[in-house]
A and B are shown apart, each in its own frame.
Chain A
Amino acid sequence: MSYGRPPGIESFSGKPPALGSFPLDHDGECKDFMKEYIKCLRANKNDNGACREFSRAYLQCRMDNGLMAQDDMKNLGYQDSSKPTAGEESKNK
């Protein structure tokens, strides 16, 4: 596709998403979960590590309402939530 262009020119370097596309939430079924997640992030200075529970809850809502393919939370990066810190998780794995 970019054959023939001079080197150094940026070309699209992204990959298609692994699980494809999210179906649109037309009825707003998971809107509350989204609002909780955003509220948590705003309170924690946009630190994703502090709000993992809320994003996990949002994805769980999507799965429950048929807006996302059912998948094990471990495959989506949510390891067992009983472990308190992220540092411990990486050591255990």
Chain B
Amino acid sequence: MFRLIHSARTLRTARLPTLARATPLSAAWRAPTRPLPIYPRRGFASSHQSHSESNASSGMYALAIFVSMLGVSYAAVPLYRIFCASTGYSGTPVTDSTRFAAERLVPDGESRRIRITFESNTSDSLQWSFKPELREVRVVPGETALTFYRAKNHAKEDIVGIATYNVTPYRAGQYFNKIQCFCFEEQMLRAGEEVDMPVFFFIDPDFNDDPYMKEVNTITLSYTLFNAKYAKNIVPGQRP
């Protein structure tokens, strides 16, 4: 019968029966003259001391993974912002000054004229009338164009308005570059005052290379005016 031996250090000696000899019945089993060692059989459980060592080391591994995951989740915030800013993913404004370089502002003589139509909307809390002076302008990509909106303050006090815009069709918005306009900044009109607000823009020359833009012949620019008092956070991204 074998015994499970836990300690490696002690070598138990056991007694083995000696070689059979012709002995009388009375001379029974006699102890061996020298002790014979039995090597301990190791099971799957290690010694008491390596239990705690391996527990401690796996605990350290788990703690290290936990701390590194925590660090990665903190680092993800600026990394995601950098990724979005460089690729323009999900509508993040891409601010790249090379698109406005003088070489790109050259009218492309060979391409067709694109119709840019203008729309306007006002918020109900704003007592201004806001209409485009020109309903449409026909431009080629690369050609800078100017258009005007007329705004009149019908109220009896000075009101500050702020405008946002959007471009339809959606995909054409990335080619609609504005050099200067009146959006995203607060504009104050005195009571009863009327002004003309210009928009200076161009269609990016890359418009002709985009296969999605082959069928696009009309681009609509739509401005919406809000009362700056009630519209604190309507400007997406950073304000210039």
Chain A: residues with CB nearer than 8 A to chain B?
A: 1-3, 10-22, 24-26, 28, 31, 34, 37-38, 41, 45-49, 52, 55, 58-59, 68, 72, 74-79, 85-91, 93
Which residues of chain B (168-227) have a CB below 8 Å from chain A?
Answer: 170, 173-174, 176-185, 187-190, 193, 195-198, 200, 202
Which of B66-115 touch A at CB < 8 Å? 90-95, 97, 100, 102-103, 105-110, 113, 115
Which residues on the A side are within 8 Å of B180 (C-beta)? 17-22, 68
User: Nearest chain-A residue to B181 (Cβ)?
Assistant: A17
A58: which B residues are within 8 A, CB to CB? 146, 198
Given A21-B180, A25-B196, A90:B110 Cβ within 8 A: yes
Contact of A55 among B135, B146, B178 (CB under 8 A): B146
Report Cα–Cα, A19/B95, bound state, in Å.
Answer: 12
Residues on B with beta carbons closer than 8 Å to the beta carbon of A45: 138
Q: In the complex, what distance in Å separates the CA atom of A19 from the CA atom of B189?
A: 22
In terms of DSSP, what is the predominant structure of the interface of chain A?
loop
Cα distance, A20 to B144, chains bound together (Å) = 16
In the A-B complex, the 4 residue pairs with the smallest Cβ-Cβ separation, listed nearest first, are A87-B109, A77-B144, A77-B105, A11-B91
A31 to B178, CA, bound (A): 21
Q: Shortest distance in angstroms between B7's beta carbon and chain A's nearest beta carbon?
A: 60
Query: By the criterion CB–CB under 8 Å, are A31 and B196 in contact?
Result: yes
Q: Does the CB pair A24–B146 fall under 8 Å?
A: no
Chain B residues at the A interface, C-beta cutoff of 8 Å: 90-95, 97, 100, 102-103, 105-110, 113, 115, 133-140, 142-146, 148, 164-167, 170, 173-174, 176-185, 187-190, 193, 195-198, 200, 202, 236-240
- A16 near B237 (CB under 8 angstroms)? yes
Q: Which residue of A lies closest to B108 (CB)?
A: A90
Minimum CB–CB distance from A92 to chain B (whole Å) comes to: 9
For B95, give its contact among A16, A28, A72, A78 (CB under 8 Å). A16
Residue pairs across A and B with Cβ atoms less than 8 A apart, 12 shown, are A13-B166, A17-B178, A17-B180, A22-B200, A24-B197, A25-B195, A38-B148, A45-B138, A46-B137, A58-B198, A77-B107, A77-B179
- The answer to whether A48 and B196 touch (CB under 8 A), given A17-B180, A20-B180, A86-B107, is no
Complex Cα distance A20/B177, Å? 12
Asked whether, in the complex, the Cβ of B182 is within 8 Å of the Cβ of A24, the reply is yes
Q: Which of B182, B184, B202, B237 contacts A77 (CB 8 A)?
A: B202
- When distances are taken between beta carbons in the complex, the residues of chain A under 8 Å from B188 are 24
- CB-CB under 8 A from B145, the residues of chain A are 48, 55
Whether the pair B95, A49 counts as a contact (CB closer than 8 A) is no
Closest to B150 in A: A34
Cα–Cα, bound, A86→B145 (Å): 14
